[in-house]
Chains A and B, each alone.
Chain A
């Protein structure tokens, strides 16, 4: 039996102690956690069958279930339309009123964030791997499959192995044209796609403390690419400010203990760090952007979107560089805001004009081109620059299409020049 060995707890350990009602937990221990929030997107349609097969009659707590469709919105195929219908029927049958349907939609993680569905101290699960993003609230937020979600809906809990924690301590100031996305790519270079497998990643240090919530979301979002169970930032005044007036549940702001035990600490100084780019075909194939710029990599498509980087702050940042410029001939630039409310903000602030006048296509909010199943699909041999989080073979369409991951502002620089470019040369 694992027992307390007399040292403090990391943030993930604190949250899992709370979720499991245990005074302390140790890495490797298997605990039953009470779930504070369960989120489903289209994949949740596959939850319905197992839920009924389990003999479950009612969802454990309809107030703690959110459904947000995002991959195909509005439905772009008959198959997607059927998934949406299954979810609508299930929501009706189970009185699940927190359904973000077409017209009130957005990428599921962004919906959870902007409506205050996940708060500090929570254990949150979602049927999407990037649920990790919500760890920026000081919560343990993680992705699960649809059958497991059926068990969560039936029982309100799930088993978890307490993960060891990697601490990423960041100091320094991001330079001109360098963004949170560049930092997380830099961290991925260090951890690789397997270096945080099954682990928690806790971001800390003066740089992180100075980060806004959107920047923290970007960091935690891509802990999924490290294989991490969750990525987290300890809650502070910035978290509280973000959640003021929107938090759906009482907060339990927990802090890691000063004598917490970390499996490893990664120290990063972002002073003088250049922008980064993840080259094909892995998010950890990270190089300094100037090195790639020197190779004159022509692009066919540029995508500014996804749960990683399509918040209003990202789009404003990108629009400031786009303003008065044109998308290079022969390049398709797709801009897709992360939610309907962000879309509306873009409209009101005149940002849509900036992009469409430049020759970009500004789409409805959805996962859009991110996953190669909806729109903006790449043909064989095409090259795409993207603000999203994955560049595996076939991720955005053809198996050999090449995807380069970068910050939103770098996507704009690339769209303007038609080849992978450094935004610092244009600021």
Chain B
């Protein structure tokens, strides 16, 4: 996990739900590279064609509400989103993102700080996000340790893999 992430910002409104991120008609698509073509098709139709790896999403309250579909953070990750910063997240989306190793940062007031096209500088452990254009920044409570560890490990798959491997190694022959 990078401790400091800098990237071009796309802003989104409040209550962007999982249907707005990946609509129900793509739920049988498993390949993230296919999914990414349809990412944010409803909520921000111009995004998929213009997104660049390393971009950062800045959203208002309740980002990712709705279903448990992991397609949503998967597609965002596949298209190269480096982090999502929101005033608040819906809980399953938040968990799914972190589990996939995609930083989801809750920072109250962040949406008001940015316009699309600005550059955001995100300091994960310090708990600060800065708009490079305006110089304004806000602070947020950094993620709890075990979530930072999870991101550090590269996501839940890597973390459990390490745990299972340690278990096997420690088991009596």
Contact = CB atoms under 8 A, between A and B. Distances in A.
A393 B15 CA distance: 11
Nearest to A146: B70
Interface stretch (A49-57, A237-245, A292-300, A331-339): A49-57
A260 B145 CA distance: 29
B130 interface: no
Given A148-B99, A394-B23, A82 B28 contact: yes
A71 B27 CA distance: 10
Contacts of A100: none
A233 interface: no
B96 A145 contact: yes
Interface string B47-70: 000000000000001100111111
Nearest to B74: A46
A80 B30 CA distance: 10
Interface string B78-115: 00000000001011100110011000000000000000
Interface string B13-39: 001010110011101111000000000
B164 interface: yes
Interface residues of A, number: 47
B12 interface: no
A101 to B, nearest CB: 17
Contacts of A127: 68
Given A144-B92, A145-B99, A392-B20, A150 B160 contact: yes
Contacts, number: 127
B156 interface: yes
Interface stretch (A5-13, A172-180, A193-201, A412-420): A193-201
Contacts of A50: 156-157
A80 B91 CA distance: 26
A131 to B, nearest CB: 8
B164 A399 contact: no
B90 A227 contact: yes
Contacts of A390: 19, 66
B136 interface: no
Contact of B164 (A54, A72, A82, A198): A54
A145 B155 contact: no
Interface stretch (A151-159, A316-324, A346-354): A151-159
B126 interface: no
A197 B88 contact: yes
Contacts of B62: 193-194, 197, 227
A196 to B, nearest CB: 10
A298 B157 CA distance: 49
Given A194-B61, A395-B24, A145 B160 contact: no
B135 interface: no
Interface of B: 15, 17, 19-20, 23-25, 27-30, 42, 61-62, 65-70, 73, 88, 90-92, 95-96, 99-100, 144, 146, 155-157, 160-161, 163-165
10 contacts: A42-B27, A42-B28, A50-B156, A82-B30, A147-B156, A151-B99, A155-B163, A390-B66, A392-B20, A392-B66
